[in-house]
Structure 1
Amino acid sequence: MKVGFIGLGNMGQPMASNLRAAGHELAVYNRSREKAEPLRQQGARVADSPADAARGAEVVFSMLADDGAVEGVVFGDTGLLVGLGRGALHVSSSTISVALSERLTEAHGKAGQRYVSAPVFGRPEAAQAKQLWVLAAGAKEDVERCRPLLEAVGRGLTVLGERPSAANVVKLSGNFLIASMTEALGEAFALTRKSGIEPQVFLSLFQSVFARSPIFERYAELIAREQYEPAGFKLRLGLKDVRLVLEAAGAAEVPMPLASLVRDHFLEGVARGMGDKDWAALGALAAERAGLDEPGSK
């Protein structure tokens, strides 16, 4: 299949590489062109713009940091909306707002194009190992059309109906679970550490009794080891996601008081200069509030 891929960051790079390894013809675009070099060496064509990456593609993926980045590559004179052919499909794997997903659905529909929202769960190491869990929502025939591509980047796929923004609601809800769990882990490790229990001992207990998910276990390991760099997922992006959760909750008239608390803790981390650390650094903030560490010291 002829595939375009836009956004070659920590997640996009391994996802695009897995698509290429699966035998698909690939055109890639990234604002920093040097990040496209590994894909060029695998035989991908390096495009000059989002429109160029989309031109001639049957399906074009976008994997970008936030709403602003997605808007920047979709709209405008060199955006993928210009380059994507009628009937061709845009698969958005970015974690974006429900409102933007609905706007993309409308814009692609007006252009005679197709749109599927397909955000993913997993960190960069999971993307490299093809262990992502993929969500997908859109017209049934569009999801089926891109199913082989989605299966090429992950270990599982959950289809969430024909309204693309449903996948964004579920992705944001899942990220809220991770954020809340990370906050709880940080507080639990801070309490046990201050009570004289070695983090590795509590981690071992957590792994034996509580952990049934590689996601939970990985964040417990990062907090126990105070390993917040390099960031697999930046704390400032966690703040963005929790803000989007609260935005969606407000639109749906769903009170989420814990989400407001977690947002404030993310905001505290960004304000203290920790925005580029892994979002597991909520554990560092919990330790600092307990008088154990200086913020951002690890």
Structure 2
Amino acid sequence: MGMKVGLGMDVGLIGLGRMGRGMAASLVRAGHGVRVWNRSPGAADGLAGVTPVASAAEAFAGDAAITMLADDAALRGVIVEGGLLDGDRRPGLHLSMSTISVALAQDLAAIHARAGVPYIAAPVFGRPDVAEAGALNIVAAGDPEAIARAQPLLDAMGTRTWGFGPEPHRANAVKLAGNFMLIAAIEAMGEAAALAEGHGVTGADLLDLLTSTLFASPVYKNYGGLIAARRYEPPGFNLKLGAKDVGLVLSAAGAAGVPMPFASVLRDNLIEAIGHGDADKDLAALAEVARRRGRPA
């Protein structure tokens, strides 16, 4: 992943949350020209090498535009309701990297096709520190020729691009399936830790054993460490966003006629955690639901 001197692309990036900032830094480091716009001003402060622009339309231009927004409403508001596809200066392609619903992904693919702007869904796996390091796993689907043109950008932001065919929404289905498994892992660790604690074993000792042996994988190790330490702030990915994602999982499952009973349980437990005041804590705080139930005040 060395510097791509002389091969830099002209890129607009819309959305400078913690993930977007890390992605912008990775693009700059790889030699691309990066214009940035965020709905709230000041988001580009302290971000070296980028060019802040005054409107979303100025960012939605050049060789490629990248969107990394919080949810369906934000993406629809900026791209569709904001009329960006009606403008004169449209980008060579649009890389949509947000975690959004399958239904919106299908709508956006059709809207972009009518506008003549290639649309690639490219959601990512990785927390903000992984984005900052340019080490994301990127799930891409869309027109193969457009993905090939976007590859230098994908290579700057990720260690690997995983292709899932020509229909963009398939990448979003993969992202939602992955997030479901991640949240289910947190729930499993929370329940297992509560069981151990009910018999005089600390959750930390149990999780140290299991995440070093049977479950020695990144999700279990990273989230297991947070659960063991009960360290839920600052959040890498907050619980409220996790609840949003499980809602998207259930919508996509319903549309495909696929029952997901575990996802329904996760949704209810996330709602309980939010009701308890944990919305802005790390997703790992879901483990506290099982702990509280097993140790009622």
Q: TM-score, normalised by structure 1?
A: 0.93
Question: What percentage of residue pairs aligned between the two structures are identical?
Answer: 47
Out of 88, 91, 97, the position equivalent to 2:101 is 97
CA 1:284/1:87 → structure 2, altered by over 3 Å: closer, same or farther?
closer
Which residue is equivalent to 1:3? 11
Out of 31, 36, 45, the position equivalent to 1:37 is 45
Asked if the contact 1:60/1:89 (under 8 Å) is kept, the reply is: yes
Out of 149, 152, 156, the position equivalent to 1:148 is 152
Out of 98, 114, 118, the position equivalent to 1:110 is 114
Q: Structure 1 regions of 5+ residues with no counterpart?
A: none
After superposing the two structures, state which structure 1 stretch, 142-151 or 211-220, moved more: 211-220
- How many angstroms apart in 2 are the aligned matches of 1:227 and 1:113? 44
- How many angstroms apart in 1 are the aligned matches of 2:113 and 2:255? 24
Q: Structure 2 regions of 5+ residues with no counterpart?
A: 1-8
* Deviation sequence 1:112-133 (CA, Å, 0-9, x none): 1110000000111211222211
Which residue is equivalent to 1:23? 31
Which residue is equivalent to 2:6? none
Asked if the contact 2:239/2:283 (under 8 Å) is kept, the reply is: yes
Out of 144, 168, 171, the position equivalent to 1:167 is 171
Report whether the alignment pairs 1:50 with 2:50: no
Counterpart AA for 1:13: R
Taking the TM superposition and a 5 Å limit, the aligned residue runs for 1:1-298 are 1-39=9-47, 42-55=48-61, 57-77=62-82, 79-83=83-87, 85=89, 88-291=92-295
- How many angstroms apart in 2 are the aligned matches of 1:117 and 1:136? 6
- How many angstroms apart in 2 are the aligned matches of 1:234 and 1:249? 23
- How many angstroms apart in 1 are the aligned matches of 2:166 and 2:88? 21
Asked if the contact 2:211/2:220 (under 8 Å) is kept, the reply is: no
CA 1:195/1:114 → structure 2, altered by over 3 Å: closer, same or farther?
same
Asked if the contact 1:137/1:166 (under 8 Å) is kept, the reply is: yes
1:265 is displaced (CA, Å) by 0.5
For the aligned residue pairs, the C-alpha RMSD in angstroms reads 1.5
SS in 2 for 1:144: helix
1:83 is displaced (CA, Å) by 4.5
1:85 is displaced (CA, Å) by 4.0
Asked if the contact 1:51/1:81 (under 8 Å) is kept, the reply is: no
Asked if the contact 2:98/2:123 (under 8 Å) is kept, the reply is: yes
Please identify runs of 4+ aligned residues in structure 1 that moved more than 2 A: 79-87
* Deviation sequence 1:86-127 (CA, Å, 0-9, x none): 561110110000111111111111111110000000111211
CA 1:87/1:207 → structure 2, altered by over 3 Å: closer, same or farther?
closer
- How many angstroms apart in 1 are the aligned matches of 2:33 and 2:209? 47
SS in 1 for 2:246: helix
* Deviation sequence 1:160-217 (CA, Å, 0-9, x none): 0000000000000000000111100111111112321123321220122123321221
- How many angstroms apart in 2 are the aligned matches of 1:282 and 1:249? 22
Asked if the contact 2:79/2:85 (under 8 Å) is kept, the reply is: yes
Asked if the contact 1:86/1:112 (under 8 Å) is kept, the reply is: no
SS in 2 for 1:38: coil
1:72 is displaced (CA, Å) by 1.6
After superposing the two structures, state which structure 1 stretch, 260-269 or 29-38, moved more: 29-38
Count of residue pairs the alignment pairs up: 289
Asked if the contact 2:65/2:91 (under 8 Å) is kept, the reply is: no
Asked if the contact 1:51/1:84 (under 8 Å) is kept, the reply is: no
